Structure 1
């Protein structure tokens, strides 16, 4: 009997790691072309960025392998809907409510703050979209801005659609735009690293949203273990330390 019990435990010790290995997966994660610091940098850049650092920490906990798919933003959204990308790493359901494949979301692991950024010579205090009636505002093509979209649709505010956030900053510095809507972390990173504090000024946040991982429905089984990993990384301060590297 003792031999049988020993044999059962021996078999379990061998099988358990194999089960964990089989349950691990290779996940295709959306990462756009170009750069969006501090979240990600151009391919070949020695800096990894917040998204890669966070997913490196998550995959260490879950055992999954991460493969990054770099394509233009709108193409990335299409590939997610087609099941050719498994994960959008940082988003909110409000931004994807019109998607053909809304997806399944993890628990939040950070927040995203969106602000109005100005060419310093044209700064005004903005408390609501009403303060920008009649003005032209730089925005990223393909993005949704729930608080401003009704004003764009009615033309009470003119949206000037650009390829990405880097192009927005270029036009602000050149004086071709007076103001734009932009991510706060991106704005602060640009101002700090390029010493643009005298040329660009950041206004109040107009949107603060929880950031989650969006999984394609065919990867729904991954959500519980990623939620468990997120909770651990939040509790032990890992995610905060990753953000602090880029601030």
Structure 2
């Protein structure tokens, strides 16, 4: 075989590798986990458990539009999120914090999208909760699969009684029926609940802890895709897109009487 023929073969082989890689990149799909255990307005599902709206859907759709990649939603329980990312079965999951996962260094992370405040919801005829001593020994409604770093040690030693439910709505209904003493959630989720459900007899106290930053976690096995998503999300943070999306789901301060 002549040197010229051999070189043409190498050139063709190299072109095919480049072409296949380009096609793969162009047709890659963003596999996005949106857990149905995330309370509205983070994720809003219909009766058929189809994701119909919410902050997560809005953010991820803009991300897909700007990266020019198709988007696939994966409705998984919270407890399987990290496993799917690490096993290259999903590419992104949002509304996480490194403090809430077992091994945060095994995943890749976005910048902080926004912050939330935790609240303890109680019956309004009960004393305000201002410190941990106010709830010692009490039964606390929590979300199944979620981690609560400020309280996990107390749940473990039974200083507090953890009582899981599948949704914030279930927890708050149980609170109204006095089946739990308080419910742990976040400010935006509770405000949204008040807008759409009966919250008569309930009152929320801001937790004494600092606000929590909210991030997206990424699949560490797809570095090119992850880098592209990280850069795009950072642009969405910088240009105000994330805050604009959040405002769609916040109560109007001029008409709201839902101050914590």
Q: Does 1:94 align with 2:96?
A: no
> Hey, what's the Cα distance between the residues in 2 that align with 1:241 and 1:21?
33
For the Cα contact (< 8 Å) 2:31–2:73, is it kept in 1? yes
Report what 1:113 is aligned to.
117
Supply the distance in 1 between the matched residues of 2:57 and 2:240 (Cα, whole angstroms).
17
Deviation, 1:207, is: 4.9
- Give the stretch that moved more between structures: 129-138 or 70-79: 70-79
C-alpha RMSD over aligned residues:
2.7
Deviates further, 66-75 or 41-50: 41-50
The unaligned stretches of length 5 or more in structure 1 are 1-14
Q: Secondary structure at the match of 1:80?
A: helix
Q: Using the alignment, how far apart are the partners of 2:34 and 2:51 within structure 1?
A: 16
1:93 deviates by 0.9
2:6 maps to none
Alpha carbons 1:89, 1:213 under 8 Å: kept: yes
Taking structure 1 as the reference length, what is the TM-score of the superposition?
A: 0.81
Deviation at 1:243, TM superposition (A): 0.9
2:54 paired residue number = 49
1:242 equivalent in alignment to 2:256 = no
How far 1:75 moved relative to its partner? Answer: 3.8
Q: Distance in 1 between matches of 2:141 and 2:127?
A: 14
Contact 2:86 2:220 in 1 (8 A): no
Please report how far the alpha carbon of residue 89 of structure 1 lies from its aligned counterpart in structure 2 after TM superposition: 1.8
Q: Distance in 2 between matches of 1:27 and 1:186?
A: 26
Matched positions, count: 228
TM-score (norm 2): 0.77
**Secondary structure, in 3 states, of the residue corresponding to 1:71?**
coil
Deviations, residues 119-165 of structure 1 (Å, cap 9, x unaligned): 222242323x2332121111122211111111111211111122232
